[in-house]
């Protein structure tokens, strides 16, 4: 027997309110379309059954029908509207409510595939319940309702009469008192106003006379001072202009001489490039790996196995490659909500990798034998607040570090995976583009778009070194003695790591140097640039090997043994070289 909704209305009882009374601990969002909060629906043991309009509905949270199955979506105002599709049965057997976008995902499949969807309410139709005969209960409620209405009406009438009498008396008293006070206040204000007006007029006349005298004097003083200052500034400006012109002529003549010498050097280098071009005899291509046409967003060689390279592609797959056999095994696939990877680093033990992602996510993935599922540990999850730029492990493997787009540098204890406290004053004022550890003493150096590099020790900045141009990349030599900085102005500066003094200034490229790396023996420096070239610089000779590309290089990596080189390009397959 079905309830009569009109009868409940006549008895002053809402059908939804009766259902709530029967199941006070049930999901309110399924009983009242004005309730959008799902906290009571998602508390307690899930999944669980709910009774809605005498139908049994199984609910759970954080899931929806997978997009791979036959699903539909509708804009709806509430979870009540969404569960209505399930109750009718002609539209859906399983539905999921999204309170943020106010959408209902539904399918007629009885057991569809599900996917993780934080904040969603999943509803699955179970069965229709047998309804009880409520005639006796309805009559009892009707009688009680009539009695309560009669008593309330009598009490209300009595209170209205008493309130009206008191209100009339209060109004009369208030009007009399108000009239008296208004008359007194009017007389007092008039007297006070006349006195204040007379005093204000006298003071105003005196102030005006004083101000006119002072103003005339200040105008005359200012006129004389301005004229003197103007004459002095014109004289100083003429002197400075003459000096600047002389300095500019000297600098121009020097730059012309330097440019002429550089052009002669480049001409000699071009004559050698037939023998010094990457891909020829010195660094032939690794055709097996290059022909795999790997398109990645981050790469790194294993410090424990020089033949192993890890990459993360645009589909967020983490793959490990053997560069000698060209064999690949998949480690795992990252969550799509993390965004594409921007940087990856191996742990010195080779047993885990550290990955930074576009949406402010930094995670550790363990690396075990083939066919084993890696463990995943989240160090940072800021979801689009600040993009992760670069990550690295310290040489002893005890510390993980990440540089972010907002200039922060974050450190974690790898054993406990807890963030180490840092001073907010130590952050860069612009994006962190690169970071590197010294194998000599563990010193950390971070490079930033704020035109500085910072030296860190013990979790604190020990020195901020200005380079007066945006720093795009940084790398320590294997010995920790030298530090290479790739700059936005297309040059590479090599510093003494201990004294911070400049050792070499390589006019390396025609555009920004986005990555630098030393060879394993420290005798060569590799650089990648937005000018579509990658170069290997001899640090003990006066030559450079180069390769031209059709896309801007994004990153380079050299194997620990120094026999393998990988170059990552913007939206293009990677290129591999093998030193014979």
Which tens digit of pLDDT belongs to each residue from 455-479? 999 989 999 999 999 999 999 999 9
CB-based contact 138:98 (threshold 8 Å): no
User: Percent of the chain having pLDDT more than 70?
Assistant: 88
φ, ψ of residue 572 in degrees (nearest 5)? -140, 155
Residue 428 and residue 354 share a domain: no
Q: Are 513 and 486 in contact (CB under 8 A)?
A: yes
Using one digit for the tens of pLDDT, what is the confidence trace for 81-90? Answer: 999 888 877 6
Q: Classify residue 5: in a domain, yes or no.
A: no
Q: State the residue range of the domain holding 474.
A: 422-548
Read off the pLDDT of residues 75-120 as tens digits, 9 standing for 90 and up: 999 999 999 888 877 678 899 999 999 999 999 888 899 999 999 9
* Final residue of a structural domain among 223, 250, 273: 273
Looking at the structure, tell me whether residues 197 and 242 fall in a common domain. Answer: yes
Cα separations in angstroms, 562 against 122, 131, 308, 434, 525: 54, 79, 13, 21, 11
Which residue, of 116, 136, 171, is where some domain finishes?
116
pLDDT (mean) for 27-48: 89
Cis amide prior to 245 (ω within 30 degrees): no
Task: Note whether 380 and 342 are within 8 A (CB).
Answer: no
Lowest mean pLDDT segment, chosen from 150-159, 348-357, 514-523 = 150-159
Q: Which of 18-22, 195-199, 472-476 shows the lowest mean pLDDT across its residues?
A: 18-22
Q: Answer whether residue 200 shows pLDDT above 60.
A: yes
What is the mean pLDDT of the segment spanning 319-340?
Answer: 93
User: d(Cα 362, Cα 354) in Å, to the nearest integer?
Assistant: 7
Question: Does a structural domain hold residue 479?
Answer: yes
For residue 229, being part of any structural domain is answered with yes
pLDDT of residue 26: 81
Domain count, the chain: 4
Residue 32 is assigned to a structural domain of this protein? no
410 or 148, greater pLDDT: 410
Are 328 and 576 spatial neighbours (Cβ–Cβ below 8 Å)? no
User: Could you give the C-alpha distances from 278 to 149, 534, 572, in angstroms and in order?
Assistant: 96, 8, 18
541 band by pLDDT with thresholds 50, 70 and 90: low
Neighbours of 161 (CB within 10 A): 9
pLDDT at site 137? 65
**pLDDT of 502-525, one tens digit each?**
999 988 788 999 999 999 888 889
Is residue 293 domain-shared with residue 350, that is, in the same domain?
Answer: yes
Same domain, 339 and 358: yes
| DSSP code, position 277 | B
Specify the CATH number for the domain of residue 511: 2.130.10.10
pLDDT band for 253, please (50, 70, 90 cuts): confident
**Are residue 482 and residue 502 in the same domain, yes or no?**
yes
């Amino acid at each position: 027997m079905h309830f009569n909704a009109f009868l409940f209305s006549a008895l002053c009882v809402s059908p939804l309110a009766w259902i709530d009374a029967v199941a006070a601990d049930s999901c309110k969002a399924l009983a009242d379309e004005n309730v959008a909060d799902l906290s009571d629906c998602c508390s307690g043991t899930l999944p669980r059954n709910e009774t809605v309009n005498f139908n049994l509905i199984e609910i759970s949270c954080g899931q929806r029908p997978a997009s791979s199955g036959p699903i539909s979506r509708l804009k709806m105002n509430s979870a009540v509207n969404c569960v209505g599709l399930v109750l009718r049965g002609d539209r859906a057997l399983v539905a999921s409510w999204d309170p943020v976008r106010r959408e209902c995902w539904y399918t007629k499949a009885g057991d569809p595939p599900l996917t993780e969807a934080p904040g969603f309410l999943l509803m699955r139709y179970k069965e229709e319940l047998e309804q009880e005969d409520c005639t006796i209960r309805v009559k009892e409620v009707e009688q009680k309702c009539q009695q309560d209405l009669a008593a309330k009406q009598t009490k209300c009438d009595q209170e209205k009469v008493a309130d009206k009498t008191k209100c009339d008396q209060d109004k009369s008293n208030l009007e009399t008192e108000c009239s008296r006070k208004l008359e007194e206040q009017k007389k007092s204000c008039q007297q006070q106003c006349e006195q204040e007006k007379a005093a204000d007029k006298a003071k105003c006349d005196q102030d005006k006379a004083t101000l006119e005298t002072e103003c005339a004097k200040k105008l005359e003083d200012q006129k004389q001072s301005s004229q003197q200052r103007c004459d002095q500034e014109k004289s100083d400006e003429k002197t400075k202009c003459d000096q600047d012109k002389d300095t500019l002529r000297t600098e121009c003549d020097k730059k012309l001489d330097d440019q002429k010498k550089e052009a002669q050097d480049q001409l000699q280098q071009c004559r050698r490039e037939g023998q010094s071009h990457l891909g020829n005899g010195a660094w032939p291509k690794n055709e097996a790996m290059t022909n795999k046409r790997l398109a990645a967003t981050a790469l790194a060689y294993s410090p424990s196995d020089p033949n192993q390279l890890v990459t993360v592609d645009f589909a967020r797959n983490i793959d490990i490659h053997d560069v000698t056999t060209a064999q690949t095994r998949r480690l795992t696939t990252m969550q799509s909500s993390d965004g594409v990877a921007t940087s990856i680093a191996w742990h010195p033990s080779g047993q885990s990798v550290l990955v930074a992602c576009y949406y402010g996510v930094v995670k550790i993935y363990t690396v075990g034998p083939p066919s084993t599922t890696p463990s995943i540990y989240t160090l940072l999850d800021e979801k689009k607040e600040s993009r992760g730029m670069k990550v690295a492990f310290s040489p002893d493997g005890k510390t993980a570090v990440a540089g972010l787009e907002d200039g922060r540098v974050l450190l974690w204890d790898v054993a406990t995976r807890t963030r180490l406290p840092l001073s907010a004053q130590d952050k860069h004022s612009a994006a962190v583009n690169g970071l590197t550890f010294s194998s000599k003493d563990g010193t950390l150096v971070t490079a930033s778009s704020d035109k500085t590099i910072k030296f860190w020790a013990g979790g604190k900045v020990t020195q901020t070194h200005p380079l007066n141009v945006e720093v795009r990349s940084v790398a320590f030599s294997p010995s920790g003695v030298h530090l290479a900085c790739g700059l936005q102005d297309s040059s590479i500066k090599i510093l003494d790591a201990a004294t911070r003094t400049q050792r070499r200034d390589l006019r390396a490229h025609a555009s920004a140097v986005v990555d630098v790396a030393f060879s394993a023996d420290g005798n060569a420096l590799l650089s990648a640039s937005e000018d579509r070239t990658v170069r290997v610089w001899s640090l003990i000779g006066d030559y450079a090997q180069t390769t031209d590309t059709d896309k801007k290089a994004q990153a380079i990596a050299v194997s620990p043994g120094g026999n393998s080189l990988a170059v990552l390009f913007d939206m293009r397959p990677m290129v591999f070289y093998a030193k014979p």
